[in-house]
Structure 1
Amino acid sequence: MHASGTFVILVVQNARVGYFNGKVIIISAPTSFEINPSIPEADPLRLRGVLQQCLDPHSSVVHSKNNQYQRISIASILQRLSIVPETIETTIAVVLRFIKEDQFYYTTCPLQFNDKECKKKCSKLAENLWLCPRCQTQFPECNYKYLLQMKLQDHTGSVWAKAFDEVGTKLLSLSANELYILQYDLTIEKTPHSILNKVMFKHYSFTALVSTDTYNFERKIKVTINKVQRLNFEDESTYLLAEIARMGATA
């Protein structure tokens, strides 16, 4: 019923709540179930389910002029993963609300490994001396790669996400090495703060890999950005008009 898109209320009696990779309900012989019960306590849940299906579907696909345009809201992602732990790849249209500036990079090995750059995270031994755990080699200078911690927001809520080097370079139009050097170049007015500020509070379309992880018996949402582009407002308008038409048909 749930897989077909029907909102389902399941009442469980005589069960025990436990923890294994998140919360689980443990059933036994006395456990009983009832689907969509006609009890007063179920009415608020039933109303909430109807509103969510009308206003906030898990995923919507419309046909734009160029190709299919898919949207999923932040609230839908959080709701979906709270029900079924899984890994999904999806597109979200959001405002980039905040980027942490204190550590926007990590250090990597610049040496060659199997005929390509190693890129393994390295550690600092002393001033101008770094060590790669993979190459087991010391070197005087390291490379810098992006590790952006960003807060994304749409009309349904907000979520923290991470973006690595390829996405960070496209988003900021600078490599992590170049942005790192700006911290110490006093001859120009550009600073990491000014560069990061330029991309905040703008609309983007992010392709994200979203999964769940359990830490201290609490389920956490993990969002990793794989692709980024400025929001195409023609496609966005097509999506919004389709949503308005769908809501009118169900009203």
Structure 2
Amino acid sequence: MVSRGNLKPKKKDYNHLNNEWEIFLESQSTIELCPDENSCIPAQRFSFTPIDKIEESQNNAILDVIGVVTSVNPCTTVQRKNGMETQKRTITLKDMSGQSVEVTMWGDFCNREGLQLQGMVECGAFPVLAVKAGKVNDYSGKSVGTISSSQLLINLDLAEAHSLRQWFDCGGRDASTQSISRDFTPAAARNEIRKTVAQIKDDGLGMGDKPDWVTVKATVIFFKTESFCYTACPNMIGDRQCNKKVTKSDSGNWLCDKCNQEFPECDCRYLLQLQIQDHTGTTWATAFQESGQELLGCSARDLYMFKENDDPRYTDILLQCMYQQYLLRLKVKYETYSDEGRVKNTVAKVERMDPSAESKYLIDFISRLIASC
């Protein structure tokens, strides 16, 4: 029971609940637990937006969504614009509208609910997830992301959750689905520049003052396995990890010259050299931490330990990515190192090639060619 609160119109920038008022608690306000409460007051209210209606939502809108989790991507570390590092994990939800949406988890959600969802999906159990107070993003399609006030609730005892469960188990699992998010948005809506491997050189990409950003549809044909990652300093400096290269000292610990400290354990970060190929030729590219993890579906530390321990999973992880087609977002820039200049291709984003989305891209591309004739 809340007493002596001050009732005021809600501040819409901070209060996303579906009401017009909010209670402010002040020094004289009191809160008492009601042990005899008979559950007639609902613990949580939802106003679910069907996934196909999210396309109509404005950017930064706050909404509730519910769907069946069909895929969970590995957790990655990303750097925000303010220089801080945070955790990121993306999952896919689908519902009875015939649409799916990408949900991006940030921070603690990744290793809390995200890890639980990953384990369930890997075991073949596709849970129903309710997202309370998710934020709409309209960059290259529509997606939903978590904010500090979001809640992720798994397999809730709700009528909507039970309906989704029955639909999915009785045929919805195999129903065709169109995504409203960037992973499957037709390329005409992505504002991307498609190039072939040969065009990177023939068009002189990367030779200007600024890097060129292009998307290449290519197959990974080779990894340099002798140095796929580097040993990194695990020390936290404020909210950021040092990540400078560390070396083994005489004591057997890991020494960071920048921090001037030794650590019993080190971190590992991807520095993955890969050769890619399409119908026009081959070229080399470099995948760093996030893109390396997107490509291999495994953390650099885990892969490093697999290699050190002669674990067969090391070879299996590399082989499962070979000769698979990907859409690779590349940063192309001419760089000079040790007085030697060359064009460097850095992988910024990895997407496994989806036949349905690629067909839509090709149809759209052909339509634009015909219209230009």
Does the TM-score normalized on the shorter chain lie above 0.5?
Answer: yes
Q: Does residue 1:177 correspond to 2:317, yes or no? A: no
Distance of aligned partners of 1:92 and 1:143 in 2 relative to their CA distance in 1, 3 Å threshold: same
1:80 paired residue number:
203
Q: Deviations over 1:136-155 (max 9, x none)?
A: 11122211111110001111
Deviation at 1:232, TM superposition (A): 2.3
> Is contact 1:98-1:151 (8 Å) kept?
yes
Q: Provide the rounded CA distance (Å) in 2 between the counterparts of 1:217 and 1:185.
A: 38
Q: Provide the rounded CA distance (Å) in 2 between the counterparts of 1:215 and 1:111.
A: 28
Matches within 5 A, 1:139-218: 139-185=263-309, 189-190=312-313, 192-214=314-336
1:223 paired residue number:
345
Q: Provide the rounded CA distance (Å) in 2 between the counterparts of 1:66 and 1:127.
A: 57
Identity within the alignment, %:
35
Q: Secondary structure at the match of 2:326?
A: strand
1:68 paired residue number:
190
Q: Deviations over 1:107-153 (max 9, x none)?
A: 10011112332111222223622211221111222111111100011
> Is contact 2:223-2:273 (8 Å) kept?
yes
2:130 paired residue number:
none
> Is contact 1:81-1:212 (8 Å) kept?
no
Deviation at 1:239, TM superposition (A): 3.6
Distance of aligned partners of 1:218 and 1:120 in 2 relative to their CA distance in 1, 3 Å threshold: closer
Deviation at 1:65, TM superposition (A): 8.0
What is the TM-score with the length of structure 1 in the denominator?
Answer: 0.65
1:107 paired residue number:
231
Distance of aligned partners of 1:81 and 1:245 in 2 relative to their CA distance in 1, 3 Å threshold: same
Q: Secondary structure at the match of 1:180?
A: helix
Q: Provide the rounded CA distance (Å) in 1 between the counterparts of 2:348 and 2:206.
A: 24
> Is contact 2:272-2:286 (8 Å) kept?
yes
Q: Provide the rounded CA distance (Å) in 1 between the counterparts of 2:307 and 2:340.
A: 38
Amino acid at match of 2:203: R
Answer with 196-205 or 233-242: which moved more. Answer: 233-242
Q: Secondary structure at the match of 1:183?
A: helix
Q: Provide the rounded CA distance (Å) in 2 between the counterparts of 1:145 and 1:82.
A: 28
Matches within 5 A, 1:29-40: none
2:254 paired residue number:
130
Distance of aligned partners of 1:69 and 1:233 in 2 relative to their CA distance in 1, 3 Å threshold: farther
> Is contact 2:212-2:331 (8 Å) kept?
yes
1:43 paired residue number:
none
Q: Deviations over 1:31-78 (max 9, x none)?
A: xxxxxxxxxxxxxxxxxxxxxxxxxxxxxxxx8288336321111111
Q: Secondary structure at the match of 1:170?
A: helix
2:214 paired residue number:
90
**Bigger relative contact order, structure 1 or 2, given CA contacts below 8 A and separation 6+?**
1
> Is contact 2:306-2:312 (8 Å) kept?
no
What is the TM-score with the length of structure 2 in the denominator?
Answer: 0.45
Distance of aligned partners of 1:210 and 1:198 in 2 relative to their CA distance in 1, 3 Å threshold: same
Q: Secondary structure at the match of 2:265?
A: coil
Please, which runs of 5 or more residues in structure 2 have no aligned partner? 1-184
Deviation at 1:237, TM superposition (A): 2.3
Q: Provide the rounded CA distance (Å) in 1 between the counterparts of 2:298 and 2:361.
A: 32
Deviation at 1:185, TM superposition (A): 3.7
Amino acid at match of 1:80: D
> Is contact 1:69-1:239 (8 Å) kept?
no
Distance of aligned partners of 1:82 and 1:198 in 2 relative to their CA distance in 1, 3 Å threshold: closer
Measured on the aligned residues, the alpha-carbon RMSD in Å equals 2.9
Q: Provide the rounded CA distance (Å) in 2 between the counterparts of 1:65 and 1:166.
A: 23
Q: Secondary structure at the match of 2:245?
A: coil
Distance of aligned partners of 1:133 and 1:83 in 2 relative to their CA distance in 1, 3 Å threshold: closer
> Is contact 1:128-1:141 (8 Å) kept?
no
Q: Provide the rounded CA distance (Å) in 2 between the counterparts of 1:128 and 1:237.
A: 54
Distance of aligned partners of 1:73 and 1:116 in 2 relative to their CA distance in 1, 3 Å threshold: same
Distance of aligned partners of 1:196 and 1:125 in 2 relative to their CA distance in 1, 3 Å threshold: same
